[in-house]
Amino acid sequence: MSSCDVSVIVPTLNEERVLPDLLRDLQRQTGVRLEVLVADGGSDDGTTALVESFDFARVVAGDRGRGRQMNRAAGETLGTYLCFLHADTRIPSDGLLGAACDAMTAERRAAGHDRLAGHFQLEFVRADLRKHTVAFRYAEEKMSFDRSHVVNGDQGLLLTPDFFAALGGFDESLGFLEDQKIAADIRRRGRWLLLPGRMQTSARRFEAAGFHRLYILMSIMQAMYWTGAREFFDRAPGIYRQQQEVGKLLLTPFFREITLMFRQDYGVVGTLRLLARIGRFVRSHSWQMFYFVDICLRPISGPGRYPFLRFHDAVFWKITNFRVFDLLAAILTVGWFLGVLFPVYTFLDRRELRAEEGRTPP
């Protein structure tokens, strides 16, 4: 028996299709005592009923909002550790959580404090292994890095209740992106630990929405969130729809809202200030361009090698770490948006809508 107990918290909203697989994975875990709390936000399918068929799990019901749901369930736990997982997570190893707890306990003892949080390396479970191989490799490998805005809820979160309470729990101001703030707070107030083993997560959202379309939208959301442009989220309340509602993602409605936000909410001066903040955010992620080259060269360079990323950290970042490059990044971002993304996806979205009209019976 492992030296720790774990309270697993899973937020749900109509997840009867994928949740049984995760519950069975949790039921098979060895070397650790678990309690499982399914934090439901008002499911109207069979989610809550199926949880009751697993005698080691229980439902904590309440208002919708993933951060709110997980905070509520965290207040009812008994474990030495809290472990937050998404409903479409899969745990491929029966000893994964026990090994993770042992690694966390050893690290806490060595550090002499509890300001540690663990996450797992992530692997996407794909329906078609032939599509977007490089893109998925890019997304998977970077999640092992200790860099800003990389860790997210798909990778799991393991920490003590005391540290979770000291962090103030999850952000409840939006119905999504709750993992972004707590991940940043962990880096600021403590330290991330990459836990042994891998979690798996469904690629269903990427496959349904389109990988590049969803990745672009996620990047826009990140930029707006971290630069304080909350007006974007007020203008697009349906931006983070339920998994089962997602079809091919259309980007032009979001592009339109960005244009209206600049014109109606910010004006000329406010827009320039926001673009400066966006430029700073984009420049802070300049490492991803070099990392992408490493991923493309993986068949040549071999696994685990990042020469271009090392060049970025050792040379490029040092010579561009000045405010003037924030302005340059902002100009390049605007040029990329107006010159590439907007015209390309305006054309592609129109073609998608015409195809959808052709598939709809009269």
Mean pLDDT of the residues in the chain: 91
Distance CA 133, CA 158 (A): 29
pLDDT at position 1 over 90 = no
Q: Distances from the Cα of 51 to the Cαs of 15, 160, 202, in angstroms? A: 11, 25, 20
Do residues 90 and 67 make contact, with C-beta atoms less than 8 angstroms apart?
no
**Torsion angle, CA of 188/189/194/195, rounded to 10 degrees?**
-160
Q: Encode burial over 203-241: b for 16+ CB neighbours within 10 A, e otherwise.
A: bbbbbbbbbebbbbbbebbbbbbbbebebbbebbeebbe
Amino acid type, 24: R
pLDDT the model gives residue 3: 44
CB of 197 within 8 A of CB of 93? Answer: yes
Residue 360 has what pLDDT?
A: 62
pLDDT tens-digit readout, 220-233: 999 999 999 999 98
Q: Quick: pLDDT tens for 231-274.
A: 998 887 666 554 345 568 899 989 999 999 999 999 999 999 99
- Yes or no: domain 5-202 corresponds to CATH 1.10.3720.10: no
> Domain spans of the chain?
5-202, 207-359
Question: pLDDT value at position 240?
Answer: 54
Using one digit for the tens of pLDDT, what is the confidence trace for 64-121? 989 999 999 999 999 999 999 999 999 999 999 999 999 999 999 999 999 999 999 9
Residue 23 reports pLDDT greater than 70: yes
Condensed to tens digits (0 to 9), the pLDDT of residues 299-318 reads 898 888 999 999 999 999 99
- Beta strand extents in 154-287 (DSSP E only): 157-159, 191-202
pTM value?
0.90
| C-beta atoms surrounding 310 within 10 Å | 12
Q: For residue range 290-304, what is the model confidence (pLDDT) as tens digits?
A: 999 999 999 898 888
Contact 224, 233 (CB under 8 A): yes
Q: What is the pLDDT of residue 278?
A: 97
